[in-house]
């Protein structure tokens, strides 16, 4: 009989699913790292929430473990890469909180419009201040939804029922898809300038952290209302506080915070125009039961030889093939992420060429890794190897694959080349290869030979090959405290065009990138984090 360890509190309904399937279930919560390592070798499956830290050491001790189920979306507490290397499947419940988070968003919009929490507080204080809490109607108002992933779409669907005008921004949303969803696809600036309400539903990345700050508030209508049920730090809290105090923002509803738990003296949480909640996005009875049942059913499926529906890593490769494929998965995911970050208008088409010794079942999963890398930097919803193709299809991204048994470049036994075409019509071509289990490389950008590991921070430039330009770039970065760890220059001919990839120890500030872009002979400057 297969054994399941439940090491965090999960809803009893999920445990019941496991036991009805004939699995032996041990509930042992609050285990220390050492205790988990000591006992995990006895189990075939592990069910966790966020408290248990599933480290590389624990996974190496898990000789019988076949699957880890995370009752929730994030898997930050699980070393997914080591699990993949060890042939252990990791599954989560990416849709478990979709309805809960979207309903909370709509709740907060209405509460902001009618001053519900503030009015309720005065009633409990024995006061009757009806005239103080005159609200506004949401009917006919314009709401800007930033991010049209699963939650953003559910929010938009509900706001349509309230007859609001919906502006939406998502770099992968086409005009046709927007029309089907009943929203109007616009730029971020259009949302900032036109919306009466703005709600964010994007992941927190280097590009979205602080994306709504002083400059964005300055663009907004006087009296705008702000809602954040996505991730803390997407909205600059200091800038929001200043906008509230100046009257630019009429109210804000914040469920997620830069620091959690929030300090007791947090000025934003205590502001009279702010509805502050303690990260309640997924805190419904239905959501907690739903995620518990979801991962329990997936554990049962895997234990009975079926595929999991929400695998975070590879769902169906044998362990020996998984080990062989793992470095190509990392390579493809990094190339996808790089393509996404290099584009300023969103990707609409991906053409993939596999050259060398690739089995068809490898290609299926490597392409999934590519799409995961492409979408992860821009989507609020969890992207994994299972849902990445469907998410790409939803956004109208066209994918073509081709295969050659021999590499066209004699230097590389296996080569993956990916052309990404942006909405603007411009395309970028990146090629990569694998030299060893942990040695993945980018070897070409737009036909120019380079050679660097796609990890950490990089500055990519296209420029004319003139004397002194490389030196000026290095001097500018050095003067601004950005240390260059490696430089890789590719050119077709002297004094022609060149591509340069700089591996740097830290991200350069936006003003530094702007100064680089203004250099004579510089055609393109992009910063990527991999």
Rg of the chain on CA atoms, in Å: 25
Q: What residues make up the domain containing 76?
A: 1-94+283-313
Does 323 lie in the same domain as 308? no
Give the Cα separation of 487 and 452 in Å (integer). 8
The verdict on 361 and 428 lying in the same domain is: yes
Q: What was the pLDDT predicted at 12?
A: 95
- Cis previous bond, 195, omega within 30: no
CB-CB neighbours of 382 under 10 Å? 23
The catalytically annotated residue of 279, 309, 413, 462 is 279
**77/200 same-domain check:** no
> Is the same domain home to 106 and 238?
yes
Cβ–Cβ under 8 Å, residues 171 and 207: no
The predicted structure's pLDDT at residue 319: 58
**Can you read off the two tokens belonging to residue 463?**
């420029």
Helical H segments across 22-164, by residue range: 33-39, 56-61, 80-85, 98-114, 116-124, 150-160
Strand 67-70 with 45-48, pairing: parallel
Active-site residue, from 34, 175, 260, 511: 260
pLDDT at 96: 81
**Pairing, β 165-169 against β 184-185:** parallel
Same domain, 487 and 392: no
Active site residue 270: no
What pLDDT score does 132 carry? 92
pLDDT of residue 94: 79
Which position among 153, 201, 225, 231 bears the catalytic label? 231
CA distance 20 to 295: 14
* Residue 259, burial from CB neighbour count under 10 angstroms (0-12, 13-18, 19+): exposed
Tokens of 263: 């300090």
Residue 260 bears catalytic tag? yes
Q: Which residues contact 52 (CB under 8 A, 6 or more apart)?
A: 7, 8, 31, 36, 46, 77
Q: Are residues 107 and 243 in the same domain?
A: yes
Question: Torsion over CA of 177, 181, 186 and 187, rounded to 10 degrees?
Answer: -80
Helix ranges, 9-75 (H): 12-20, 33-39, 56-61
Q: In degrees rounded to 5, what are phi and psi of residue 399?
A: -125, 130
pLDDT tens for each residue of the chain, 530 residues long: 899 999 999 999 999 999 999 999 999 999 999 999 999 999 999 999 888 999 999 999 999 999 999 998 778 789 988 887 787 889 998 788 889 999 999 999 999 999 999 999 999 999 999 989 999 999 999 999 999 988 999 999 999 999 999 999 998 888 888 999 999 999 999 999 999 999 999 888 778 889 999 999 999 999 999 999 998 999 999 999 999 999 999 999 999 999 888 999 999 999 999 999 999 988 899 999 999 999 999 999 989 987 788 888 865 566 567 778 889 999 999 999 999 999 878 899 999 999 998 888 788 889 999 999 999 888 766 677 767 887 888 888 999 999 988 777 778 889 999 999 998 888 999 999 999 777 999 999 999 999 999 999 999 999 988 888 889 999 999 999 999 999 999 887 777 789 999 999 999 999 999 999 999 889 989 999 99
pLDDT at 381: 62
The CATH number linked to 463 is 3.30.70.260
Look up the CATH number of the domain holding residue 294. 3.40.50.720
Which pLDDT does position 357 carry in this prediction?
86
Whether residues 463 and 517 fall in one domain: yes
Same domain, 307 and 319: no
Q: In the annotation, is 365 catalytic?
A: no
Return the pLDDT at 314: 64
**Looking at the structure, do residues 357 and 468 belong to the same domain, yes or no?**
no
Task: Match 């630019």 to its residue by tokens.
Answer: 248
Q: What are the start-end ranges of the H helices in 226-284?
A: 237-246
Does residue 472 share a domain with residue 416?
no
Same domain, 259 and 287: no
Q: Dihedrals φ, ψ of 144, to 5°?
A: -105, 120
Helix (H) or strand (E) holding 324: helix 319-342
Whether residues 84 and 108 share a domain: the answer is no
**Overall number of domains in the chain:** 4
Which bin fits 110, alpha (ψ -120 to 50), beta or left (φ > 0)? alpha
């Amino acid at each position: 009989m297969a054994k399941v360890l439940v090491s965090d509190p999960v809803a009893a309904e999920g445990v019941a699913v496991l036991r009805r399937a004939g699995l032996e279930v041990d509930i042992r919560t609050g285990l220390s790292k050492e205790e988990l390592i000591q006992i995990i070798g006895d189990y075939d499956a592990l069910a966790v929430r966020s408290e248990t830290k599933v480290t590389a050491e624990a996974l190496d001790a898990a000789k019988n473990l076949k699957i880890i189920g995370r009752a929730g979306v994030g898997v930050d507490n699980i070393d997914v890469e080591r699990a993949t290397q060890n042939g252990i499947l990791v599954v989560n419940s990416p849709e478990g909180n979709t309805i809960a988070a979207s309903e909370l968003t709509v709740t907060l919009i209405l509460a902001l419009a009618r001053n519900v929490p503030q009015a309720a507080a005065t009633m409990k204080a024995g006061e009757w201040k009806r005239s103080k809490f005159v609200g506004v109607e949401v009917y006919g108002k314009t709401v800007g939804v930033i991010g049209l992933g699963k939650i953003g779409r559910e929010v938009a669907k509900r706001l349509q029922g309230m007859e609001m005008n919906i502006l939406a921004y998502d770099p992968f949303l086409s005009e046709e898809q927007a029309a089907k969803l009943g929203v109007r696809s616009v730029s971020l600036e259009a949302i900032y300038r036109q919306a009466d309400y703005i709600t964010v539903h994007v992941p927190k990345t280097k590009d979205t952290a602080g994306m709504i700050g002083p400059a964005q508030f300055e663009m907004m209508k006087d009296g705008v209302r702000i809602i954040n049920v996505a991730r803390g730090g997407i909205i600059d809290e200091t800038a929001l506080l200043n906008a509230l105090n100046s009257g630019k923002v009429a109210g804000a509803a914040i469920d997620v915070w830069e620091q959690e738990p929030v300090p007791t003296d947090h000025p934003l949480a205590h502001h009279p125009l702010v509805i502050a909640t303690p990260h309640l996005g997924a805190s419904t009875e239905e959501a907690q039961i739903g995620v518990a049942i979801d991962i329990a059913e997936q554990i049962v499926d895997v234990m009975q030889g079926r595929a999991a529906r929400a695998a975070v890593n590879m769902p169906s490769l044998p362990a020996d093939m998984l080990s062989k494929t793992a470095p190509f998965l990392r390579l493809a995911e990094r190339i996808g992420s790089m393509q996404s970050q290099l584009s300023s208008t969103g990707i609409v088409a991906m053409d993939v060429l596999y050259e060398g010794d690739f089995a068809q079942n490898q290609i299926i999963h490597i392409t999934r890794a590519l799409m995961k890398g492409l979408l992860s930097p821009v989507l609020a919803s969890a992207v994994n190897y299972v849902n990445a193709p469907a998410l790409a299809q939803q956004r109208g991204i066209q994918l073509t694959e081709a295969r050659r048994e021999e590499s066209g470049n004699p230097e590389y036994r296996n080569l993956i080349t990916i052309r990404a075409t942006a909405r603007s019509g411009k395309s970028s071509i990146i090629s990569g290869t694998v030299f060893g289990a942990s040695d993945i490389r980018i070897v070409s950008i737009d036909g120019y030979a380079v050679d660097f590991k796609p990890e950490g921070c990089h500055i990519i430039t296209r420029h004319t090959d003139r004397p002194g330009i490389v030196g000026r770039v290095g001097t500018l970065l050095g003067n601004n405290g950005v240390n260059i760890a490696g430089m890789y220059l590719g050119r077709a001919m002297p004094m022609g065009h060149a591509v340069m990839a700089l591996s740097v120890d830290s991200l350069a500030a936006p003003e530094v990138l702007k100064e680089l872009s203004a250099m004579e002979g510089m055609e393109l400057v992009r910063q990527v984090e991999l």
